A and B are shown apart, each in its own frame.
Chain A
Amino acid sequence: MAAKRTKVDAAASSTRLAPLSKTPTGIKGLDALTLGGLPTGRPTLLCGAAGCGKTLFAMTFLVNGINKFGEPGVLMSFEERARDLETNVASLGYDVAELVERKQLVIDHVYIERAEIEESGEYDLEGLFVRLGHAIDSIGAKRVVLDTIEALFSGLDDTAILRSELRRLFAWLKDKGVTAIITGERGDGQLTRYGIEEYVSDCVILLDNRVEDQVTTRRLRVVKYRGSSHGTNEYPFLIDEHGISVLPITSAELGHRISHESVPTGVPGLDDMLGIRGYFRGSSILISGLAGTGKSTFASAFVNAACERGERCLFFAFEESPDQIVRNMASVGLKLDQHIDSGLLDFQAARPSLYGFEMHLARMNRDIEEFAPQVIVVDPISAFRGPSSEIHSTLIRLADICKSKGITALFTSLSSSGEQMSESERSVSSLMDTWISLKDTEANGERNRVLYLLKSRGMNHSKQLREYQLTNHGIHMVDAYVGPDGVLTGTARIAQEAREREAGLSRKQATERRRREVARKRAALDRQIAELRAALETEEAEMATLIEQEEARELAHGSERSEMAAIRGVRS
């Protein structure tokens, strides 16, 4: 029975088709979200409006194919001349001329000038086929880019012929077994201006460049991918001097491994307040507070401590320049420059308004991938302005990226005055594992800083308001002083301490006074007793004298009487 079943299983598996083979683009995020790359040996349509980066995208596909996967490529350009293309992609660091020289790449510029062309009778695009076929065969190309083939429509009149020829072209490309990217300009109500998505139906990728609140964000979406699952959302992507990077929104599930290890905060007193003497490794920490409460200082202290342990730290600064942070932190005794020199600390500074959230996220993701830090700091997240849903989704993904990589992420946030939470705070509060709130207290004409732990998941923690001071030697947590009216800070605390000391002194004095009083009373009493005793003794002495005198008189009296008797001659 069992044997039979295995036989059946084997038969079933042999009839199962091999999964679609994929050709990696070398664009990291894109390969992740298409689960391996573009369909091998099939054409992919890449469409988008002007300026979306279609050509750069396609060029990256070719250059990566050559440099990373050893697959030669052909670029047939219908718009830009080879020379212009070379210049344009040089900005991404691609030396296209050298690849052409090495016979790894063929760039063929197809020039169509409407004014030169006269149509007379039937024709086909065999010329294009031969030309492309020759280019492919001459270097054994595996990858082909047709950029932008729809230019044919503006050069030739007979669209019926064009359409049937394009259909034939895509079928021919499949027969050739080359993995092709066909770019197309975005049209009204359809993906491409001339609707060629109808013919290229295996994989369609849409690029978009949207401006919201004067900030542009490039986005990418895999519209369809026949025979494969793929990420269906819009993903931000980035074009800069490092090439193209797409940010796949990492695993939406909350399945990342967690750590029980603690990471010291860099502030000894703060460690004491946290049940595990630090933050959990890989957790997200939010430090929120008003201006001037030392958010960056707490962040820097954390970074400093991490670097001293030999961990790598990445500091995303959105309000201050790296130099400024280094200088300012030197004033509280945190020498960040030495960590920069040793290569453990890296700053990435950018104005928040430079890109949209998505772009920032894509950039941060890339920097994290490159630098591989154990600790990151984002200072501050409140610099991002915009709808809270977007801030939320950006930060949730950033926090997610960090968690999946086991990176401890510390975010600072500038609160608006008062008790009200700022937009960014509210939107991220639920994401944070530890939330430290820094506050100002104003009393007696002075401002003092206190902090408390709003929450700290997974550990017992102090619920006390604690005063702290920013000193030349870093952050100093002052021992909690709880008076009758709450926590006392600053001079009020000092005054209260003095008052208590004074009270203690006077209590001691009172006791002393009492003791002396008693002693004095005792002495008085003793004196009285002594006096009485002395009086008694005097009396006793007098009494004794009296008795003696009496006895003496008696005696004298007696002898006198006998003498008298004798005299009288009477004998008794």
Chain B
Amino acid sequence: MTQHDDADLPQGPYKLRLFITGSTPRSTRAIENMRRICAENLEGRFDLEVVDIYQNPEATKELQIIATPTLVKILPEPLRRIIGDLSDRERVLAGLDLAPLGEDDQAHS
């Protein structure tokens, strides 16, 4: 998998921000899922910041947050938002440009 990454996908550092709402089960699940994906796919080249919008409501305006949880990929460009508890690993990877979407996902959209 790492070999595949090296060949096709962006190399630069990932700047990610995960917006959650306190310690709801969904928020916790999102954090866990994200940590796992980062560890498996972005080892050593990511910067993940978890923002609790209850603590920091201003932040919602800045990055146009409406749904929670939302993972925002700020870098590399283009900006992408992945909403939900990140339980669909394939779609998260697609959103992060880490894996192209399969046929299965095209049927979704």
Contact = CB atoms under 8 A, between A and B. Distances in A.
Of A119, A127, A131, the most chain B CB neighbours within 10 A belong to A127
A152 B54 CA distance: 22
A182 to B, nearest CB: 15
Contacts of B70: 123, 127
Nearest to B96: A118
Contacts of B57: 130-131, 133-134
Interface in A124-160: 124-128, 130-131, 133-134, 152, 156-157
B82 A120 contact: yes
B21 A121 contact: no
Given A117-B81, A117-B83, A124 B91 contact: no
Contacts of A111: 64
Given A116-B79, A127-B70, A128-B67, A121 B84 contact: yes
A267 interface: no
A128 B67 CA distance: 6
Of A111, A118, A119, the most chain B CB neighbours within 10 A belong to A118
B11 interface: no
B53 interface: yes
Interface residues of A, number: 24
B81 A123 contact: no
Contacts of A112: 64, 66
A108 interface: yes
A128 to B, nearest CB: 4
Given A118-B80, A118-B94, A126-B53, A131 B65 contact: yes
B85 A121 contact: yes
B82 A118 contact: yes
Contacts of B41: none
Contacts of B60: 127, 130-131, 134
Interface string B38-76: 000000000000000110011011001111111000000
B4 to A, nearest CB: 20
Contact of A116 (B26, B80, B86): B80
A123 B83 contact: yes
By size class, the interface of chain B is 35 or more
A130 B54 contact: yes
A134 B66 CA distance: 13
A124 B22 CA distance: 13
Given A128-B67, A130-B53, A120 B79 contact: no
A2 to B, nearest CB: 61
Contact of A121 (B87, B94, B109): B87
B19 A127 contact: yes
A273 interface: no
A555 B88 CA distance: 193
Given A120-B91, A131-B61, A131-B66, A126 B21 contact: yes
B92 interface: yes
Nearest to B19: A127
A1 to B, nearest CB: 63
B63 to A, nearest CB: 10
Interface of B: 19, 21, 26, 29-30, 33, 53-54, 57-58, 60-61, 64-70, 78-89, 91-92, 94-95, 109
28 contacts: A108-B61, A110-B64, A111-B64, A116-B79, A117-B80, A118-B80, A118-B91, A119-B82, A119-B84, A119-B88, A120-B89, A120-B92, A121-B85, A122-B87, A123-B26, A123-B68, A123-B70, A123-B83, A124-B26, A125-B67, A127-B19, A128-B67, A130-B60, A131-B57, A131-B61, A133-B57, A134-B58, A156-B67
| Shortest beta-carbon contacts, A-B, top 6 | A121-B84, A118-B95, A134-B57, A121-B87, A121-B85, A127-B65
